[in-house]
Structure 1
Amino acid sequence: MRAIWTGAIGFGLVNIPVKLYSAVQGSELDLDMLDKKDHSNIRFQRVNEKTGKEVAWSNIVRGYNLDGQYVVLTEEDFQKVRPEKNKIINIAEFVDESEIDTIYYENPYYLAPEKSGQKAYNLLRDALEETGKVGLGTYVLRNKESIGLIKPHEDILVLNKIRFGEEIRDASELDVKTTKSNPQELKMAIALINQLSGKFDISHFKDTYSEDLLKLIKDKAKGKKIEKPTLRVVHSRSKDLMEQLKASLGQKEKGGGGRRRKAS
């Protein structure tokens, strides 16, 4: 892996030198954009809107439109704003992870210690495991400030990038009417949830869409005729809800409806 950031974790008066690595990779197929006429690759260019000419990366700068005038920023300008945040993830507080709503989570990263910080790194990891707490602090990556949640994962520390409160849109913009659930329907819904409950195991979930899409691509390359499957979506009325719940619960006895797990 290639480190995307080098800095330190601030833990009280202790600084732990670390490197940051992306912890995820895409599972979707890498599809190129092509010209429909001759299947040539589509190239995207950085074009000056006044001259229409392409601009080299070396000639591109960033700026902010302030009252109709652009203020151009250099790399040095970014470093001048709270320089410590560009190099230190300073843990400001420790909380129970269960208190943090998943809507705030964004991207996970691996944190690996530099040789000089190995002992302090392991100490922080062990302390978090013992207390069941996670560390919260702010840092700057790619000129954007974020909140970092530091937690142990197996033998390493993981940094989960989480959003600020002001980044979450107000759900009151949605027109959702609240109604009181029918007690019998609620009882059936709870029974269905309990029937499908079990311990979390990520291996139960696979990106089968990409596998199926790749199979279609290979079949198409061989000249096979691809039949479009018929998908019938039934939108039931609310008065049929009890029957849907009963049928869903009955799938276990019939062996239908996919994988079933007993509650532990």
Structure 2
Amino acid sequence: MSRTALVTGATAGIGLAFARQLAAQGYDVVLVARDTARLEAVAEELTATAGVSTEVLAADLADRAQLATVERRLADPTDTERPIDLLVNNAGFGLKGRFLDNDVEQEQAMLDVLVVAVMRLTHAALRAMAERGSGGIINVSSVAGYQPRGTYSAAKAWVNRFGEWASVEYADRGVRIMTLCPGFTKTEFHGRMEVGRDAVPSFLWLDVDDLVAEAIADFEAGKSFSVPSKRYKAITAVSRHLPTRLLQRFQTLGRK
């Protein structure tokens, strides 16, 4: 029987790389993003290149009603034909400005996508997976979750601790949960924030395909955390021990 993965933010960047690599491994794929045209284009690509079945769910995860449609797709434990075997919670965005420079509704939307959607989709998937006794969840966080870089970092810190707890809590129910913590990655993410590549030293940029390949390997190996590349493993380790005031000196990195 084929396996099915649901990937949010599946039309670009890390989400698209996950969709492509999982399809190449034989997963049927449920693609979630806001742009219907781009979703359909990715679905056609995956069907043509990997020969897998695809399903498109257009949804803005900051909208609670649209988020609910994705929850329903994840939650049905009686769907024996195409249950979701793997959820990749990847959708997200950042804000270039500092907290008081942003409109509070922008901040709310970011919180809704980075935290509320992750919590609700994980809850929906976990219920069905735990009932079946099998399944997996990858929550895409960030090394920023280990650093004081405003509300984005605060949201990712929540994802880190949530995943750390859940991976232990539900292991005996047959569900594997991994938190992925990438650093600066060559995707559309920073371009949408109007942040140039020159805002970050070149050695800190990661290749998205390498990042996702390493993440999938870590997931298959049963790891609860995946931090791609030796340089970001080192940065994460150091960040755990440096004082907040010192770390705050680097909070403008990636905002030019």
Asked which structure has the greater CA Rg, the reply is 1
